[in-house]
Structure 1
Amino acid sequence: MKSFILKIAFFVNIIFALTLGVSYLSVHIPPDRFWYPAFLGMAYPYLLLINIIFIFFWLWFKPRRIWLSILVFILGINHFNDYYQLFPSKKFTGKGIKVLSYNVHHFTYDLSKKKSNSPELLEFLKSEAPDIICLQETRLLKRGKLSPASICDLIPSIHYYQLAHTTTYAGPLTFSRFPIVNLGEIRFKNSYNMVLFSDIVLPGNDTARVYNCHLQSNRILPDEYGVVDSLTTGNDPKLKETRLVLGKLKRAFVVRANQARILSAHIKKSPYPVIVCGDFNDTPVSFTYREVRGKLKDAFVESGFGTGNSYNGKLPSFRIDYILYSNLFEAHNFKRIKVGYSDHYPVTTTLTVRDNASESE
């Protein structure tokens, strides 16, 4: 009986090892051509955990069988590094450009209950005193404490701002301590999501193009999260609801793939080094992340610690908010700050200009 159980366990191990391997393909295969690996890419942390459990299981029962999961893990070590930073970087105490990116969810944590934390959120931005702030899903009001002008006046470190409308009263908003000398927009067909870019003159007369991104949302409604809970707890959800949620995820994967191509092409044509901030709505093991990142560096990978999970919700409860940058810069002190003012957590880093850095990247 023991031999039979171990054979079944090894068969299951093979399935999950192969599934983890297929999840690596999600960064290379565009979801609008073949969408299945995109789901496995989103499930990467769970697939990885199962394979790690199998490694310890075989160490106890049959050590020679640990090599299957170990080999698959090694093949995807780069993805592991994009997800987890096991050792903290040395704390940077010098001067630099502090960048903060935050999806503020219209300054309301729970839209269905209209639960607002806007006073605390604004006080948080003031206390962080960033040099560049990229906000997504803001309210673009003409007057009041949440208007762009009022927020600019509230934060002593900020002197300039730029905005764009995705709807009449909402859109991305970029604040800067330094002068904004040019601005532009990348609008996507049949989508309320967009990218705002600003050319900002940094200290030393270096100009950088700052992209404030909000890519296609999954549009999972609050009452549909019960399906997600059922899938993750092993309960049997209703088939119709499951198909609806999976259909929304599939459509979002497909739409984001095209948006990522457009954004990537725009970044490559930038006349200046770039800083790319925002809510990608996709995890590090995804075509969207890999396409947009390209040759850019990731502030979390370079100076973060832990997991960096930035979504304050159920799906995907992983790292979906990013700060990427050109080779001109070096990142320090990346932080994901756990404050409950939105359905996202803000991410922040300090950038310094590298000596003898190539601006071609």
Structure 2
Amino acid sequence: MAISIIRKITKWVFLSLNILCCLLFLLSCLSLYISPAEWAPVGFLALTVPYLVIILFFYIIFWLIAKPKMAIISAVVLAIGWKQVVVIAAWHPAAGFKEVKAPTSIRIVSWNVRGLYGISTNFYTQQRNRKEIADLINKSGADVVCLQEFNNIFAKEDPNYNNIGLFTKTYPYYYFSKDFKNDQGTYYSGVIIFSRYKILNEERIAYKGKNPESLIRADLLAGNDTITVFTTHLQSFAFSKEDYRNIEKIKQTDDEVLEASENIYTKMKGAFYNRADQAQTVKNTIAGSTHPSVICGDFNDVPNSYTYFHIRGERQDAFLKSSFGIGRTFNALAPTLRIDYILPDNNFEVKQFELVDEGLSDHHLLMADLSLKK
């Protein structure tokens, strides 16, 4: 009798948790259609999708062993949210990367370089870091390089501060957004496009609000073809070192987390709201491109988010097309944070893709070889 009751309770608990996970996953699927500016929870739920999918697959296996008919619940829910499932990971285990690209390919690099100085505050370490970043890019064989969180000091002739000069021998053409600047107008930071190809036209589209960041566009003459490259850095959570420490406390269920949790929640909610607005600007702008185009950059949002789906639309995701695994691009917080992207339109064929992590930034370098379809 007692064993029977325990079995019933256990079954009820497992089923209840299964249904809860199903509901949370279905709610997360709303991020395809609902902006976090309209309903903030979809922004947070998008971050949980990889974990919910793993749990639901576990339930399918569990119920197939314990009671096969019950496995239908999780299977149907995953089928409903299949668009959320397929963007979590790439499934090309045989995909490799050839350093020497095909003559007809266009190699694009996108990288959040964290100012080029890395995480060290030591001047000599910073100088070594920026030169290593430049060497890695200059030797990559890339034709177009899009960098986020790039800075340059124009007033000093000292080569220790001329970051643009590290690249111009390899990439004679560039367009710099100059989003942030100091009062003297000597220091600038933002996103930049370097190119071996001549820049025919360029444009900076500023985002609304207090954030001075922007989306930039460059029309490039690639052989006999004109292509358009966009790059941007969308609103981050702007976590401080203290916030990162507090997140670790929350993970460890530290008692002193209430105030920290509220502060982190407020920052995340604000970032979701701003990114949704920025994503709309990006979507509208790239939709007006009259040439084959690629949008790349640091979106600061996962592939299960409104930001990703809204910007991507019908575009290809170079990582999903030619890589394998989850494809983490940000080194902190969680192993599922793929927040940097290269998204070519359907005028291109993705030949190969690679993620590179040399420990020079808190983000990984993204590199893709694309070819124009004839």
Give TM-score scaled by structure 2 length.
0.88
Aligned pairs for 1:15-164 (under 5 A) are 15-88=20-93, 94-95=102-103, 96-110=105-119, 116=126, 117-142=129-154, 143=157, 144-145=159-160, 147-153=162-168, 156=170, 158-164=171-177
Q: Deviations over 1:255-298 (max 9, x none)?
A: 01111111111111122221101000011111111111122211
Shift of 1:233: 4.5
SS, match of residue 325 in structure 2 = coil
SS, match of residue 83 in structure 1 = coil
Give the residue type in structure 1 aligned to 2:196: R
Q: Deviations over 1:225-246 (max 9, x none)?
A: 1332344455555111101101
Identity %: 30
Change (3 A) 1:62 1:245: same
In 2: Cα distance, 1:64 partner to 1:187 partner = 54
- The answer to whether structure 1 residue 254 and structure 2 residue 263 are counterparts is no
What residue in structure 2 maps to residue 343 of structure 1?
Answer: 362
Q: Deviations over 1:195-238 (max 9, x none)?
A: 111111112x2111111111111101122113323444555551
Shift of 1:79: 2.0
RMSD: 2.0
With 265-274 and 59-68 compared, the bigger mean Cα shift is at 59-68
- The answer to whether structure 1 residue 193 and structure 2 residue 205 are counterparts is no
SS, match of residue 118 in structure 2 = strand
SS, match of residue 198 in structure 1 = strand
Give the residue type in structure 1 aligned to 2:315: L
> Highest Rg: 1 or 2?
2
Change (3 A) 1:208 1:34: same
In 1: Cα distance, 2:9 partner to 2:119 partner = 51
Where structure 1 has 5 or more consecutive residues not aligned to the other structure, the ranges are 356-361
Shift of 1:58: 2.4
With 129-138 and 317-326 compared, the bigger mean Cα shift is at 317-326
SS, match of residue 331 in structure 1 = strand
Native 8 Å contact 1:152 1:160 kept in 2: no
Change (3 A) 1:317 1:305: closer
Change (3 A) 1:145 1:75: farther
Native 8 Å contact 1:145 1:151 kept in 2: no
Shift of 1:66: 1.7
With 104-113 and 92-101 compared, the bigger mean Cα shift is at 104-113
Where structure 2 has 5 or more consecutive residues not aligned to the other structure, the ranges are 1-5, 182-187
Shift of 1:28: 1.0
Change (3 A) 1:149 1:112: closer
With 230-239 and 117-126 compared, the bigger mean Cα shift is at 230-239
Change (3 A) 1:324 1:237: farther
- The answer to whether structure 1 residue 242 and structure 2 residue 261 are counterparts is yes
Change (3 A) 1:147 1:135: same
- The answer to whether structure 1 residue 285 and structure 2 residue 304 are counterparts is yes
In 1: Cα distance, 2:259 partner to 2:37 partner = 23
Shift of 1:56: 2.6
In 2: Cα distance, 1:206 partner to 1:320 partner = 30
Native 8 Å contact 2:328 2:335 kept in 1: no
With 274-283 and 106-115 compared, the bigger mean Cα shift is at 106-115
Give TM-score scaled by structure 1 length.
0.91
Change (3 A) 1:149 1:118: closer
Native 8 Å contact 1:26 1:38 kept in 2: yes
Change (3 A) 1:228 1:62: farther
In 2: Cα distance, 1:87 partner to 1:319 partner = 17
- The answer to whether structure 1 residue 13 and structure 2 residue 23 are counterparts is no
Native 8 Å contact 2:180 2:213 kept in 1: no
In 2: Cα distance, 1:317 partner to 1:145 partner = 36
Native 8 Å contact 2:91 2:320 kept in 1: no
What residue in structure 1 maps to residue 179 of structure 2?
Answer: 166
Native 8 Å contact 1:174 1:212 kept in 2: yes
Alignment coverage as a number of residue pairs: 352
Native 8 Å contact 1:26 1:285 kept in 2: yes
In 1: Cα distance, 2:161 partner to 2:350 partner = 30
Q: Deviations over 1:284-317 (max 9, x none)?
A: 1111111111222111122222111111111685
- The answer to whether structure 1 residue 271 and structure 2 residue 279 are counterparts is no
Change (3 A) 1:237 1:206: farther
With 275-284 and 58-67 compared, the bigger mean Cα shift is at 58-67
Q: Deviations over 1:54-84 (max 9, x none)?
A: 2233233333222212222222222222121
In 2: Cα distance, 1:90 partner to 1:53 partner = 28
In 2: Cα distance, 1:339 partner to 1:59 partner = 43
In 2: Cα distance, 1:210 partner to 1:338 partner = 23
SS, match of residue 235 in structure 2 = coil
What residue in structure 2 maps to residue 358 of structure 1?
Answer: none
- The answer to whether structure 1 residue 202 and structure 2 residue 222 are counterparts is yes
SS, match of residue 295 in structure 2 = strand
In 1: Cα distance, 2:262 partner to 2:46 partner = 19
